[in-house]
Structure 1
């Protein structure tokens, strides 16, 4: 199979390689529903040594810089209660945690969740957290720029490997909210 974006030696439909994914991500692909068929989600094998964005795009294709998204876990706090959510923005943007996220979650304070919270709650590896397969009930805040792309590169749940997902599928994930102003240009 040829990857729809990037230059990858090994690209396969995600349902054909569930053993390469973490449990929560494999379950989400196995139980996939929505307008985008599961076999349009593509798993690409990548070397974890090239996981950092600058090195990654140099190795796998410069066009991926504009077609990659980061998924970060945020913790919102109000009255002693913590709400965890995922935010998906293009890799060329940063998450507006103190503005858009705080308002959307209705919390007084929002910040990036600690690494052990992000990995422990998602069952995914740090640096590979993906919006596919997040815990039920989590808000998944998605910047419209992600939804507008034909394909977006995101984590696979592990540091090794990535998923290529049609942009419109992000708007259909459980708990998804397409939120204007979520991603702001990186300084």
Structure 2
């Protein structure tokens, strides 16, 4: 077992050694890891799925909201074409969907993707969607504050458990682009 850089967790493992606890897309992404940080830098903390929502999670596991990040799936539309994208921002901020995301994706309209769509397209559980293991070709927008964080807590693909990942490793994921001002 390893130690987490923050929080109070009973069980902490490198995610790659407990791939059996991860949804298939996340386990596959770890198997084919290409970030400069070693795959062992991705930690999995086993937690109560009933306490997965950010505020409750942070209180329960003694995690500062400033090190917690949310992965939001956005549907950006231009004409008849809809592009799904993932956006990662710190939990203490709000994603700027209507201005920054919309402009960055060249869309006329952008909004949060419907829950059914986000779940079906990612193969992950709502409330646990993570930027690791997204479908091929998806844009992944990472707020600069997330990329600059030594470690951030994000979903694991399911409501049970979270990942702790170096911010720069998130910025190195396939399709990732660091965007200044993605969150406000």
| TM-score for the superposition, normalised by structure 1 | 0.96
Deviation sequence 1:152-173 (CA, Å, 0-9, x none): 0000000000000001111101
Question: SS of the residue aligned with 1:12?
Answer: strand
Structure 1 segments (4+ residues) deviating >4 Å: none
Structure-to-structure mapping, 1:41-56, within 5 angstroms = 41-56=42-57
Taking the TM superposition and a 5 Å limit, the aligned residue runs for 1:28-107 are 28-63=29-64, 65-107=65-107
3-state secondary structure, aligned to 1:17 = helix
Partner Cα separation in structure 2 for residue 183 and residue 11 of structure 1: 29
Shift of 1:62: 4.1
* Counterpart-to-counterpart distance in 2, 1:148 and 1:172: 12
The residue number in structure 2 matching 1:22 is: 23
Aligned to 1:177: 177
Counterpart in the other structure of 1:140: 140
For structure 1, list consecutive stretches of 5 or more residues without a partner in the other structure.
Answer: none
Structure 2 distance, partners of 1:53, 1:40, is 22
State the Cα RMSD in Å: 0.7
Length, aligned pairs only: 183
Q: Distance in 1 between matches of 2:173 and 2:39?
A: 12
Query: Could you state the TM-score of these two structures normalised by the residue count of structure 2?
Result: 0.98
